[in-house]
Amino acid sequence: MAFALDLRIEADSLLVGRHGEFQVRLVDDERFFWALLIPECEGIVELHDLDPKTNADLMQLAAALGAALKRATGAKKINTATIGNVVSQFHLHVIARHAHDESWPAPVWGQGTTVTLLPETKAKRLEILGEFLTRLC
């Protein structure tokens, strides 16, 4: 069966590119620099559903992305998490957090109202993520 991205993830994020079997996506929310890593594997719900190599590759990619976001944004903390209570299709969140953001120090999930990315913010974040993907190759 071919991989199909959950329509809610597709609606709430932008595809930046791919690295190996992973999609790198930018969440459309001005409030946080929020990326998603999604393995293009059908039927994956939990981290432990991934085969060991894909799991290891994902952890390496998430660590590299977290480090890149911290460097690019000066974030106080990088939140890396899988939740999946609303969208069960496996996706890993990597979020740059700042002490001045509206949800700090609470998690971002279920906090406030999404604010659509402003064009200049979207362009800058896409540039940062694009450069990250280019450096990986």
Domains of the chain (ranges, CATH numbers): 7-136 (3.30.428.10)
pTM assigned to the model: 0.97
Which of these, 88, 86, 97, 99, lies nearest to 35 by C-alpha position?
97
- C-alpha dihedral (69, 72, 76, 82), degrees to nearest 10: -10
What confidence score (pLDDT) does residue 68 get?
98
Spatial distance between the Cα atoms of 94 and 97, rounded to a whole number of angstroms: 10
Task: List pLDDT tens digits, range 80-105.
Answer: 999 999 999 999 999 999 999 999 99
